[in-house]
Amino acid sequence: MLEPPGRALVLAVLAVLVAAHPAATQTRTLRPDDVFSIKDVGDPQVSPEGRWVAFTVTSRNAKEDESDTDIYMAPLGGGPSLRLTTSPKPERSPRWSPDGKWLAFLSGREGKKSQVWLMSREGGEAVKLTDFKGGVSSLSWSPDSTRLGVIVSDVDPDDPDVDDDDAGAASAAATGAGEKEKKPKAPKPIVIHRLQFKRDTEGYLREVRSHVDVFDVSAKTSFAVTSGPYDDEDVAWSPDGKWIAFTSNRAKDPDASRDSDVFLVEARAGAAPRRLPTGPGADRSPSWSPDGSSIVYEAGGDPKDMWYGANHVAVIAVAGGEPRALTASLDRNIDRPRFSPDGRSVYFLLEDGGNSHLARVAAAGGTVERVVSGERDISAFSVSAKGDIALLASEPQLPSEVFSLGPAGALRRVSTVNDAFLKGIRLGAVERFKARSADGTMVDGFLTRPPDAPAGRLPTILRIHGGPVSQFSTAFELEWQVLAGAGFAVVAANPRGSSGYGTAFSRAIWADWGHLDFQDVMAAVDHVIEMGVADPERLGVGGWSYGGILTDYVITKTTRFKAAISGASEANYLSNYGTDHYQYEWETELGLPWQNVDRWVKLSPWFSVEKVTTPTLLMGGSEDMNVPLLNSEQLYQALRRLGRETELVIYPGQNHGIRRPSYVKDRYERYIAWYDRFLRGGGSSTTTTTSRP
């Protein structure tokens, strides 16, 4: 049986936890600087015998202006959480060894590349296990707990972040001896050959790939299992430890396709991978049946539907043959299918109509059962060898926390990471509603009311989700609560294009952005006006990514909004081809721009920019390769040239997602200031042309 860490470690950790969470004596509403108080819980992993669950907690430090992720552990049956790591560098991906003796995790606490670290079940300091020059991105234990399957990146000789301990030691010794420190060498020119030549957060892409390696824990030696001009991921060991399943796109030119498949390879050097005939879509996340005869996986939808098509749970025999679809008729996205310990059923996450549930289906096929349902968002789960289940669940007024699953689907709280802070916070009530769009389509909406809302109509903000293929859910939305805390009612909707409502609903906006989805979000606003909540004379709109894109459509189609915030958006799609990382998706949906100029121009709200009269705040990260800043710059330039009220905010060094904590806080502050200025007459009337925080 697994025992808890040593007594000294437990007492020390408990002292830290008590000191870090003084009881709140007063209540107030949420505000932007609370980004430094709210913590993110993730990746629950149940120990093999089901007594403990490890998970991650991400916090943000205002003084250092950095985020840090640490690993915690708690009894699955309830009890205090124990902090297992305290390094200032992030630790992630905790994984129990099948024998329950070890907890492995990834960290770059020594150097700039993530490596595997190992911690004994008895507690104590973690030890560094691997030293791959290219770094490790994921790990999986072999069934006998003697080896690890790891995804290792090739070494990029031009990457200045590749660790070189010997060279660093020599440089330090030379400097200490009185020699003048040498200037770093100029970076080499970037030479591009690939069709997919850039990706957000990764930068420009060269022939540096990720492959499967097997690492012997005792001997600390490794060998490569896969190689070639492909990226491999999703390592899964067979129950007997002889085979590894993984996924890879091994088309003639992987950059011209999204066809990833499940492969099998013997866990030895020089073995040749064998592709399973899993179909033409993007297949991911394989998991073995307990008897080793079959593999369950996430089967991609029809490639013709691209990201608009729903995926499904499928099973295929290891010996080959046709796969069996278990949830294709469900027409909803699924995630992370896993066999139950007895092999009779398959657990998976099910996205459905503004919720995400834990579901189950018989391995032989049949009716889908919602094991955990209700108005909540389940974003992760883990199953022990005995069948114990831990979940990561969130609700409208509850940030994600770890729960255990009891009899008849009952949930028991395991972690209470944010409870102490939230005791001092008054949150806005969130309610769901249905709105009827212009053509009669019913659309799900969410209304967040300010905690201290006065009587009468309120200044109201329409916030639009990214994607376009994603959904607002019943998870805790910090942005809604921050805006509500500032006194705004917040309206959100899942317009056509959203996931969670089936392929036809999602695909309705194919090559027709800003039409049906515009009608749907406007229907949500009108519904809240009819409720007597929203003031039609004090409406704001905004969003990030596709939320910013649809905002651009909104302000070219209506003058009803008095303020708009378009974050990381695009408007002139012709300028996107070759400058963002979506060349495959653009070509699939719109065709080649030089062959379909009219289609590209017609879809771009940029060419209707003269219709914009709404004061518009534009924002983006300087290093965004997902939706490059040039889109916001072009829109800003046009609006400024037309004499419209506008402002451009650029976050230096940030990609598509704004990560630096002070910038996250700054963004919320600017949201409130911009909406307050134009919806309530607050703040200065002077337009700032460009701001760099």
Q: Quick check: is 597 in a domain? A: no
CATH of the domain at 558: 3.40.50.1820
Q: Quick check: is 74 in a domain? A: yes
Quick check: 318 pLDDT over 50? yes
Q: Is there a single domain that holds both residue 412 and residue 474?
A: no
Average pLDDT, the chain: 91
Of 409, 425, 441, the one marking the end of a domain is 425
Cα separation, 361 vs 347, whole angstroms? 7
Cα separation, 28 vs 26, whole angstroms? 7
> pLDDT tens across 321-346, in order?
999 999 999 999 999 999 999 999 99
Q: Quick check: is 279 in a domain? A: no
For residue 454, the model assigns a pLDDT of 85
Q: Is there a single domain that holds both residue 439 and residue 500?
A: yes
What confidence category does residue 360 fall into, taking pLDDT thresholds of 50, 70 and 90?
A: very high
**Share of residues in the chain with pLDDT > 90 (%):** 85
Long-range CB contacts for residues 655-659, cutoff 8 Å, separation at least 24: 655/200, 655/201, 655/621, 655/623, 655/624, 655/625, 655/626, 656/200, 656/201, 656/545, 656/568, 656/621, 656/624, 656/625, 656/626, 656/627, 657/621, 658/621, 659/67
Quick check: 134 pLDDT over 80? yes
Structure-block tokens of residue 570: 């695009």
Per-residue DSSP letters for 301-312? --GGGGGGS--E
Q: Is there a single domain that holds both residue 404 and residue 464?
A: no
Find the domain containing 686 and state its range: 427-574+615-691
Structure-block tokens of residue 205: 């892409």
Q: Is there a single domain that holds both residue 418 and residue 511?
A: no
Q: Quick check: is 21 in a domain? A: yes
583 touches 198 (CB < 8 A): no
Quick check: 659 pLDDT over 50? yes
What confidence category does residue 406 fall into, taking pLDDT thresholds of 50, 70 and 90?
A: confident
Q: Is there a single domain that holds both residue 549 and residue 676?
A: yes
Q: Is there a single domain that holds both residue 536 and residue 673?
A: yes
Q: Quick check: is 632 in a domain? A: yes
The size of the chain, in residues, is: 693
For residue 17, the model assigns a pLDDT of 34
Q: Quick check: is 214 in a domain? A: no
Q: Is there a single domain that holds both residue 402 and residue 504?
A: no
Q: State the average pLDDT over residues 397-407.
A: 95
Q: Is there a single domain that holds both residue 16 and residue 105?
A: yes
Give the DSSP letter of residue 253.
S
Q: Is there a single domain that holds both residue 532 and residue 644?
A: yes
What confidence category does residue 473 fall into, taking pLDDT thresholds of 50, 70 and 90?
A: very high
Per-residue DSSP letters for 320-361? ----EESSGGG-S-EEEEEE-TTSSEEEEEEEETTEEEEEEE
Quick check: 496 pLDDT over 80? yes
Which of the two residues, 409 and 602, has the higher pLDDT score? 602
Q: Is there a single domain that holds both residue 661 and residue 681?
A: yes
Task: Report in angstroms the alpha-carbon separations of 311 from 106, 223, 330, 587.
Answer: 29, 34, 10, 21
> pLDDT tens across 557-581, in order?
999 999 999 999 999 999 999 999 9
What confidence category does residue 122 fall into, taking pLDDT thresholds of 50, 70 and 90?
A: confident
266 touches 147 (CB < 8 A): no
For residue 25, the model assigns a pLDDT of 52
Q: Quick check: is 410 in a domain? A: yes
> pLDDT tens across 171-197, in order?
444 444 445 667 888 888 999 999 999
What are phi and psi for residue 59, nearest 5 degrees?
Answer: -125, 165
Cα separation, 569 vs 629, whole angstroms? 8
For residue 320, the model assigns a pLDDT of 84
Q: HSE of 86 in the Cβ direction (CA atoms, 13 Å)?
A: 10
Q: Is there a single domain that holds both residue 404 and residue 550?
A: no
Number of domains in the chain: 2
For residue 179, the model assigns a pLDDT of 52
> pLDDT tens across 232-268, in order?
999 999 999 999 999 999 999 999 999 999 999 999 9
Q: Quick check: is 437 in a domain? A: yes
Of 380, 407, 425, the one marking the end of a domain is 425
Q: Is there a single domain that holds both residue 421 and residue 511?
A: no
Of 410, 425, 440, the one marking the end of a domain is 425
